[in-house]
Amino acid sequence: MQRLKGFREFYPEPLPPGEEWSCDLRQHIFDCWRRTARRYGFREYDGPPLEPLDLYTAKSGDEIVSQLFNFLDKGNDAVSLRPEMTPTVARMVAAAERAYRKPIKWYSMPQLFRYEAPQKGRLREHFQFNCDLFGEEDPAADAEVVALLIDVLRSMGLTEEDFVIRLSSRKAWQAFYESQGGQPDQAYAFFQAVDKMERDDAETSARRFAPTGVTPAAVKEFVSAGVPTAELQGILDNLSARGLGAYVKIDYGVIRGLAYYTGVVFEAFDRKGEFRAIAGGGRYDNLVSLLSGGKVKLPALGFGMGDVVLALLLRKRGKVPSFSSTIDVMVLVEDETLRLESLALVQQLREAGKAVEYSLTPLKSDKQFKRALEMGAGHWVRLERAEGGIQVRVKDLKTRTEATGQPAGVLALLSGGAAAAS
Residues near ligand HAM (CB under 6 A)? 84, 86, 114, 116, 122-123, 126, 128, 130, 132, 258, 277-281, 302-306, 308-309
Rounded distance between C-alpha atoms, residue 319 and residue 165, angstroms: 19
Give me the helices (H) in 14-169, please: 23-39, 54-57, 62-65, 86-96, 139-155
Looking at beta carbons only, is 303 or 358 nearer to ligand HAM? 303
Nearest approach in angstroms of CB 121 to ligand HAM is 6
Task: Return the SS3 of 305.
Answer: strand
CA 256 – CA 304 distance, rounded (Å): 12
Q: Smallest gap, in angstroms, from Cβ of residue 150 to ligand HAM?
A: 15
- Cβ at position 140, least distance to ligand HAM in Å: 17
Minimum gap (Å) between residue 161 Cβ and ligand HAM: 20
Q: Smallest distance from the beta carbon of 391 to ligand HAM, in angstroms?
A: 56
Q: State which residue, 79 or 85, has the beta carbon closest to ligand HAM.
A: 85
Contact call for residues 85 and 45 (beta carbons, < 8 A)? no
Nearer to ligand HAM, 85 or 377 (CB): 85
Q: Tell me the residue nearest to ligand HAM as measured from the CB.
A: 306
CA atoms of 92 and 300, how far apart (whole Å): 13
Q: What angle do CA 184, 188, 192 make, to 5 degrees?
A: 145
Bond into 139 cis (ω within 30): no
Q: Min. distance of Cβ 47 from ligand HAM in angstroms?
A: 13
**Shortest Å, Cβ 308 to ligand HAM:** 4
Dihedral of CA atoms 357, 360, 362, 367 in degrees, nearest 10, equals -40
Query: Quick one: 214 or 314, whose CB is closer to ligand HAM?
Result: 314
Q: Which of the 8 DSSP states describes residue 408?
A: G
Q: Position 147: which residue type?
A: A
CB-wise, 108 or 212, nearer to ligand HAM? 108
Closer residue to ligand HAM in complex, CB, 239/278 = 278
The sign of the torsion formed by the CA atoms of 234, 235, 237, 238 equals positive
Q: Measured between alpha carbons, how far is residue 365 from residues 369, 381, 402 in Å?
A: 6, 12, 17
Alpha carbons 419 and 400: distance in angstroms, whole number? 9
Amino acid in the structure at residue 66? S
Report the nearest approach of ligand HAM to the CB of residue 112 (Å).
7
Q: Which is nearer to ligand HAM, 298 or 309 (CB)?
A: 309
Judge contact between 71 and 52, C-beta under 8 A.
no
Residue 315 or 385: which CB sits closer to ligand HAM? 315
